[in-house]
Amino acid sequence: MKRKETLLNIRPINGLTVDEIGDEHISTSLETPLREDAFDLGDDIKIELIQKHFREIMQILGLDLSDDSLKGTPKRVAKMFVKEIFSGLNPKNKPKARLFENKYKYNQMLVEKDITVFSNCEHHFVPIIGKAHVAYISSGKVIGLSKINRIVQYYAKRPQVQERLTMQIGNELKELLQTNDVAVLIDAEHLCVSSRGIQDTTSSTVTSYYSGKFENEDTRKEFLAYVYNK
């Protein structure tokens, strides 16, 4: 397969250049920005190319790749990028969730809380670590509990901003569960804030998504009471 080359897009975003954007928290779309040819290359080729380029980055930094501890790092990083922490970019990895009839006629909210979120900031490629809390009210269909965790992890395993991640999870659950009654809350620490820049190690970011019955204040309060044990 012939490799496609893409020129670096240096056009301003929202009227700002890349340097002017700096640490600003900018998200351009609900969809993760992907090129049309994003999956023309297979995983093995991507790993080979990333390995090559990451080796060059390490050499530019002045690291000695002949050292036993470092010589395998380019391949390890390449495999990690493609197979693990950015595996959510590939729609082939999207979890398949089977719907079941709500035979118990349970018509109250179901809350899955404290779901581990481990993502990476798309601005600096450093971790976003936190918890997601998800709830829905069945319209007649239910899914296995672990599928909710898998959906959260699928969208987290890509370069992200937290606002987009929250909405992607909410929209996916609405479509999958065939209900408008969905809530998502994410509370996470951004290492681009704590490990660089301002280096604030005590702050966290909270984002939420409410639709259907969760737009009602009482329903939303009930959800938050479960999340925060109040």
CA–CA dist 224, 114 (Å, integer): 12
Is the distance from CB of 148 to CB of 132 less than 8 angstroms? no
Is the distance from CB of 117 to CB of 188 less than 8 angstroms? yes
Which segments within 37-126 are labelled E, that is strand? 100-101, 109-121
Q: Which candidate, 207, 174, 184, places its Cα nearest to that of 27?
A: 207
CA–CA dist 114, 135 (Å, integer): 12
CA–CA dist 31, 169 (Å, integer): 11
CA–CA dist 177, 104 (Å, integer): 16
CA–CA dist 9, 218 (Å, integer): 46
With a CB cutoff of 8 Å and minimum separation 6, the contacts of 179 are 136, 137, 138, 139, 141, 212
In order of 4, 11, 57, the CA distances from 7 in angstroms are 10, 11, 20
Known catalytic residues?
A: 121-124, 162, 190, 192
CA–CA dist 55, 82 (Å, integer): 16
